[in-house]
Amino acid sequence: EAQVTQNPRYLITVTGKKLTVTCSQNMNHEYMSWYRQDPGLGLRQIYYSMNVEVTDKGDVPEGYKVSRKEKRNFPLILESPSPNQTSLYFCASSSLTGNNSPLHFGNGTRLTVT
């Protein structure tokens, strides 16, 4: 089954404790992206990647890191999480066959930083 898999689904942590949210897709997609979703603000893009070893900042990259060492994986790293990073996070992927290629989303990771 074609899918984007995020782990974990729920995560509670404390300020300053490094964490990684994993994202993997099995559709051989070139494009992958991370979003955060907050009430009233919709989806905001954190980072994206057009292919292996190619990453770029989105609209809200501060406090986050990503890497794309393999085509299928695109982990999101919070080196020193802060309470303002409490949010719902989504990973998404797409083929780059044209501007009409839709995004495929994971089921989300709900992060709470205390």
To another protein, the closest distance from the beta carbon of 64 in angstroms equals 17
Pairwise CA distance, residues 106 & 46, whole Å: 15
Check if the beta carbon of residue 7 is closer than 8 Å to that of residue 89.
Answer: no
Q: If you count DSSP H runs as helices and E runs as strands, how many of each does the chain have, helices first? A: 0, 11
Please count the CA atoms within 13 angstroms of the CA of 96 that sit on its side-chain side: 7
Q: Which residues bind another protein (CB under 8 A)?
A: 4, 31, 33, 40-43, 45, 48, 90, 92, 94, 96, 98-103, 105-108
Pick the closer one to another protein by CB: 105 or 112: 105
Pick the closer one to another protein by CB: 14 or 52: 52
To another protein, the closest distance from the beta carbon of 60 in angstroms equals 13
